[in-house]
Structure 1
Amino acid sequence: MNKGIIALAFGGLAIGMTEFTMMGILPDIAKDLHIEIPTAAHLIALYALGVVVGAPTLVLFTGKYPPKKVLLFLMLLFFIFNGLFSIAPGQFLISLSRFMAGLPHGAFFGVGSVVAARLAPKGKEAQAISIMFTGMTIANLAGVPLGTYLGHHYSWRLTYGIISILGLITFAAIYAWMPKIEAAKGNNIFSQLNFFNKKIAWLLMAIIAIGTGGLF
């Protein structure tokens, strides 16, 4: 198995933990910050907002750069802002860092899926992408329960400090294991926006929006 794909799975683990662990330790965060649990739940919304803003923005503006450099940049953001979240003293800085920590989420999986497919042998592209998302599965099965346990019995700040370190480990793994991959030729903001000129693009977005809306 290509080690670069394993590095992407590490990223999936870290991102899965930072997203979902929050739900289990909201009471601990609320108690520490002396706020109500519904107020603390805004941190979930702020992360989601970061994902929504960061996914299209970062993908559009980093498309002309080599994917390895983009992934390193995204994990650096992840490390910095999850680390800041774990030590921030006040609610404003905690909220800001939580929003910023969400920015790399969608872009990482978008760029990572393309990279995983390019690293895989011919005919194994889907398998490579699924291996990357295995990190998210492991996060839900083991990482989130462990993070919740640590948050309950020690400190939620310890949990997010560990998550930040996982981001740093992913950064190191990508740097060491992932080969250099050239940026796609002609890949700029305007070429990517051309996708929205196709009817199928709007149809796909409508299906996703209706399906997701129906779920909730």
Structure 2
Amino acid sequence: MPLPLYLLALAVFAMGTSEFMLAGLLPDIASDLDVTVGTAGTLTSAFAVGMVVGAPLVAALARNWPARATLLGFVLAFAAAHAVGAVTSSFPLLLASRVVAALANAGFLAVALTAVATLVPPDRTGRALGVLLSGTTVATVAGVPGGAALGTLLGWRASFWGVAVLCLPAALGILRAVPAVRARGEATGRRALRAELAQLTRARVALVMLLGALVNAATFASLTFLAPVVTHDAGLGELWISVALVLFGAGSFVGVTVAGRLSDRRPGLVIAVGGPLLLVGWPALALLAEEPVALLVLVFVQGALSFAVGGTLMTRILYEAAGAPTMAGSYATAALNVGAAVGPALAAATLGTGVGTLGPVWASGLLVAAALITAFPLFTTVTGGGGAEAIR
């Protein structure tokens, strides 16, 4: 694989780190900018809203844009947004910078998924896409806890600067190696775009998008407010926040890896087994949060189950929206980030209730319950087959 491809993956890694790292930085941001932790949690929702809006919008607009200039513009805008966030003392400006960063992230992914095909021979395109998207997985394992650790040691602003710096090698790689060609040809014109957008009116597409959003909302509800659970309920020091995030990231890697082997052929198995286990896991985490060992084990398990079930549902979106070859990825991204926006917002509302810092964990359980209640009466529709065995 050519070096520029890995530099593009580095940008995806930086963007994934940015999206998830706030889970370990919220208490410090809230204290520094004199807002509540619940208010600081809207930074995660703002990023998700930007991704929801940006993914389909930019995927449509960038169909015929020059790839090199577009990628360079988005990665530099992403870096600039983090530089602004690192120096501001205004929470509204920090919030606005997160929206700009999310739009740049969505735009970068929309174009990069096509541009990588120009860097390798046609028979290696699949492998190249795997390298590009590995940036997100690595971010959950290393980037997120690394950003949290950097924030703990040097302050949350250092984490923002770190993300901005990571974008610079990717920008250089784009300048040196990405061809200055259009991202997509004229074959994907307005008529084709209308046909692809019409896929959103299909009931099966809408259903799997809803389920994906609910499961991801549950994931982000707890992940965003995991830091107070670690320090307050479990009574651990701040550096244990990074340990918990590492475990969640490692679990997510395991979940994606295992589910990836099954989601094409047996998605029903993943959903039927993983869904109920995920439902049980969130209340168990809330009830055992004061036991550090149990908490850390459950963080790993819930990371694995969340990404196994959520990743399988994202795959189902791509299958059901196969009639939208250039837009299906943006539909999956939008569903994912609707959940990332709604989950933290609902979780923040629970912080002022009697359950306190464990409110988000209980909210996660309710969101998974809503997904399962919706899914199981329509099981074969969700999984795309005519029976429990044939979900493909």
1:205 shift after superposition: 4.4
Question: In structure 2, what residue type is equivalent to 1:53?
Answer: V
User: Can you list the C-alpha shifts for 1:44-93, whole angstroms capped at 9, x where unaligned?
Assistant: 10110111111122222232211222111111210111111111121111
State the match for 1:125 in structure 2. 125
Verify the 8 A CA contact 2:87 2:157 in the aligned structure 1.
yes
Query: Secondary structure of 2:122's partner?
Result: coil
Distance (Å, rounded) in 2 between the aligned partners of 1:201 and 1:174? 37
Would you say the 8 A contact 1:55–1:104 is kept in 2?
no
RMSD across aligned C-alpha pairs, in angstroms?
2.1
**More deviation, 96-105/172-181:** 172-181
TM-superposed deviation, 1:190: 5.2
Deviations 1:95-143 (A, max 9, x none): 1111111112223222211222343323322211110012122222222
In 1, Cα distance between the equivalents of 2:92 and 2:80?
17
Give the residue type in structure 2 aligned to 1:206: L
1:13-46 Cα offsets, whole Å, 9 max, x none, are 1101111111111111111112211111010101
User: How many residues were matched structurally?
Assistant: 216
Task: Give the partner amino acid of 2:209.
Answer: I
Structure 1 portions without partners, runs of 5+: none
* TM-score of the two chains, using structure 2 as the length reference: 0.51
* Cα distance in 2, alignment partners of residues 199 and 15 from structure 1: 27
Decide which moves more: 28-37 or 51-60.
51-60
The one-character-per-residue Cα deviations of 1:179-203 (angstroms, maximum 9, x if unpaired) are: 3333433244554233123589663
C-alpha displacement of 1:4: 2.9
Are 1:209 and 2:210 counterparts? yes
1:204 offset after TM fit, Å?
3.3
Contact 2:75 2:104 in 1 (8 A): yes
Report the alpha carbon displacement of residue 12 of structure 1 after superposing the two structures with TM.
1.0
One-letter amino acid matched to 2:194: L
Higher relative contact order (CA 8 A, sep 6+): 1
- 1:159-215 per-position Cα deviation (integer Å, ceiling 9, x unaligned): 101111212222122112323333433244554233123589663343232233255
CA distance in 2, matches of 1:16, 1:22: 11
Identity of aligned residues (%): 27
Task: Answer yes or no: is the 8 Å Cα contact 2:114–2:184 preserved in 1.
Answer: no
The yes-or-no answer on 1:14 pairing with 2:14 is yes
Higher Rg: 2
Q: TM-score, normalised by structure 1?
A: 0.90
Give unpaired runs (5+ residues) of structure 2. Answer: 219-392
Change (3 A) 1:169 1:199: closer
In 2, Cα distance between the equivalents of 1:183 and 1:35?
42
Distance 2:4 2:126 in 1: 15
Partner in structure 2 of residue 34 of structure 1 = 34
SS at match of 1:78: helix
CA–CA separation in structure 1 for the residues paired with 2:206 and 2:70: 25
Q: Aligned partners of 1:199, 1:53: CA distance in 2, in Å? A: 15
